Structure 1
Amino acid sequence: MTFQFKTFIFFIILFSSCNTGHLNNIADIDSELKESSAIELVKGSNLLWTIEDAGNKNNLYGLDLKGNIVKDIDISNAKNNDWEDLTSDNLGNIYIGDFGNNNKKREKFTILKVSNIDTIEDKANAEAINFTLPKDVKSEDFEAFFLLDNVFYIFSKENKSSILLKVPNTIGEHVAELVTDFNLDGKHNKITSAAVSSNGETVVLLNHDKLWKLSNFKPDYFFKGTIEELKFNHTSQKEGVCFKNDSIVYITDEKNKSEGGNIYTFNMN
């Protein structure tokens, strides 16, 4: 085999194994976590926090930037019915969205609050923010939310028409408020995670092959502002997104055989 042909084969293999489009693959997630369903940076912590969804442990995992598990925290008083997303506040508290609903029969949903996450060693109790759906709103699957102005905004996961709910960040029982229904253009628009920038001016919604960037909006009217579709040129089961800074986000995907299970960065500019 000639040197030139060996070089050609090398670059073909390299391109095939690293074809993540505009995504920058920075780390493999620890092999113990097959179904990472969220990613979150929390004020006061230098770790990236993640969870797994239904059928897995009721644990929060703190990862370093190499994808290693640095902290493994058991949420002792909660069950992982279907944990789907994470968000946080400016006080160092993290919130787990237990609102997955694949069979669309669930009637009660929960957001779990874990206080001062960076000070916890290996076990914690969570406080519960429970909610039901508004009257005349049918049960939906929810996988994405963020916290803005002390209100949780929760997005349903649909191909066509989706709904946006809001729930106050107050421990106790609530009836969610329907904010709007919406329809993102194109096919395969299921939202799997959401995040808001620290300045509150940009919202991102994640899909397996794209990111929607929402900006220039007024409170509650996220879809009345500027909507940009940012394609990855890469498809995998992407389940988690959070802001690194106002222009760069972290993204994670689930492990599927030899693919996925990674932490990426994505520059939206």
Structure 2
Amino acid sequence: MKKLVLPLLYVIVISCNPNYGQLSLVTRLPKELKENSGIAITAQDSTLWLINDSGNKDHIYRAGFDGKMLEDIKVKHAKNVDWEELTKDDDNNLYIGDFGNNKNKRDDLTIYRIANPETAKDEEIEAEKITFYYPEQKDFPPKKKHKYYDAEAFFYLDGYFYLFTKNHSRPFDGISFLYKIPAEKGHHKARRIGEYTFCTDKDQCKVTAAAISPDKKTVALLGHDRIWLFSAFENDNFFEASVQETIALHHASQKEGLCFLDNNTLLISDEGKGSSGRNLYKLELGKVKN
């Protein structure tokens, strides 16, 4: 029996002292956000907006940095087929990316625009629908080696959406395509303007969220255990940026939420799994170690 005591105590200590690597824990998110898939900030008031992905309600949520649920708003005229990302424009209108497409079968890719939810007067808010398609995709689904048409990452910039695809190719080749879509009502052809090969590890090299800094000088992309930064770009093909950096987080989980708190600080969220995850983290870019 004595041989079993130390390992058991060791397990208890480890579980009570989780290691978040380079991340700092801000809070555990409310239980309603177990499958959170996108985050955005519209005010510097220690709160943020969140969405859940497929199989959940057509709602947006506001939670505090203290982990408390503050608002639960139904999005009218919208359906959560697979909500995967949340971003905002300069007027704090929110955009929900309903373009999750793991099997590459969808022909109803949608972005929902809702007015700044801080102005909502009740527990419902109207959505305006924007749709788009990838002109390169001819088959639904395409062959396994061409499964490039899923996405979980986009942001708004100067009247356009910039969308980064999530690769499901087999064999996995690590490519993410960058598409540009007008941020206006209508049915749009997404224009491919760049591509980047991250690496060929299918567990580590898929893009799950995107954000651009408030000063519009840095683009951040999220993976389950790392962040990719692109800066000093001269045009909107951010993959051609002259400064590129990969930050190992030393913490792996199903991270899908990403936004900038300020020009030097990222907020990151992950989905819950058992007793772990469903957390909001902070990453201070000036303090990271590679």
Scaled by the length of structure 1, the TM-score of the pair is 0.92
Match of 1:202 among 218, 226, 237: 218
**2-side partners of 1:43 and 1:175: how far apart?**
32
**1-side partners of 2:184 and 2:85: how far apart?**
18
**1-side partners of 2:51 and 2:73: how far apart?**
10
- Deviation readout 1:89-137 (Å, 9 max, x if unpaired): 1212010000000111112311100002101131011001111112456
1:265 is the counterpart of 2:274:
no
Aligned ranges for residues 167-186 of structure 1 at < 5 Å?
167-185=181-199
- Counterpart of 1:218? 234
1:251 is the counterpart of 2:251:
no
Q: Secondary structure of the residue that 1:223 maps to in structure 2? A: helix
- Counterpart of 2:132? 131
**2-side partners of 1:103 and 1:26: how far apart?**
34
**1-side partners of 2:55 and 2:71: how far apart?**
20
The residue identity in structure 1 corresponding to 2:244 is I
CA contact (8 A) 1:212 1:228 kept: yes
Residue identity over aligned pairs, in percent, reads 39
Q: CA deviation at 1:185?
A: 3.5
- Deviation readout 1:161-216 (Å, 9 max, x if unpaired): 12111101111111111112221145221010000001110000000000001101
**2-side partners of 1:151 and 1:211: how far apart?**
23
1:111 is the counterpart of 2:111:
yes
Q: Secondary structure of the residue that 1:39 maps to in structure 2? A: strand
Residues 133 and 215 of structure 1: CA distance in aligned 2, closer, same or farther (over 3 Å): same
Match of 2:258 among 233, 241, 246: 241
CA contact (8 A) 1:213 1:228 kept: yes
CA contact (8 A) 2:178 2:195 kept: yes
Q: CA deviation at 1:77?
A: 1.0
Residues 74 and 45 of structure 1: CA distance in aligned 2, closer, same or farther (over 3 Å): farther
Q: CA deviation at 1:80?
A: 0.1
Q: Secondary structure of the residue that 2:62 maps to in structure 1? A: strand
The residue identity in structure 2 corresponding to 1:183 is T
The residue identity in structure 2 corresponding to 1:119 is T
- Deviation readout 1:31-67 (Å, 9 max, x if unpaired): 1221011111114775201100011000000011112
- Deviation readout 1:129-167 (Å, 9 max, x if unpaired): 111112456661110000111110011112511211110
Residues 80 and 15 of structure 1: CA distance in aligned 2, closer, same or farther (over 3 Å): closer
The residue identity in structure 1 corresponding to 2:131 is N
The alignment covers a number of residue pairs equal to 263
Q: CA deviation at 1:12?
A: 7.9
Gaps of 5+ in 2: 1-5, 141-148
Aligned ranges for residues 65-80 of structure 1 at < 5 Å?
65-80=65-80
**2-side partners of 1:137 and 1:110: how far apart?**
18
Q: CA deviation at 1:219?
A: 2.1
Aligned ranges for residues 15-26 of structure 1 at < 5 Å?
17-26=17-26
Residues 245 and 11 of structure 1: CA distance in aligned 2, closer, same or farther (over 3 Å): farther
**2-side partners of 1:219 and 1:116: how far apart?**
28
The residue identity in structure 2 corresponding to 1:194 is A
Q: Secondary structure of the residue that 2:192 maps to in structure 1? A: strand
1:39 is the counterpart of 2:42:
no
**2-side partners of 1:93 and 1:132: how far apart?**
23
Q: Secondary structure of the residue that 2:239 maps to in structure 1? A: helix
Gaps of 5+ in 1: 1-5
CA contact (8 A) 1:43 1:91 kept: no
1:151 is the counterpart of 2:160:
yes
Pairwise CA RMSD: 2.1
Q: Secondary structure of the residue that 1:51 maps to in structure 2? A: strand
Deviates more, 1:171-180 or 1:135-144: 135-144
Scaled by the length of structure 2, the TM-score of the pair is 0.85
**1-side partners of 2:28 and 2:233: how far apart?**
35
**2-side partners of 1:13 and 1:176: how far apart?**
50
- Counterpart of 2:3? none
**2-side partners of 1:137 and 1:220: how far apart?**
26
- Counterpart of 1:162? 176
Q: CA deviation at 1:17?
A: 3.1
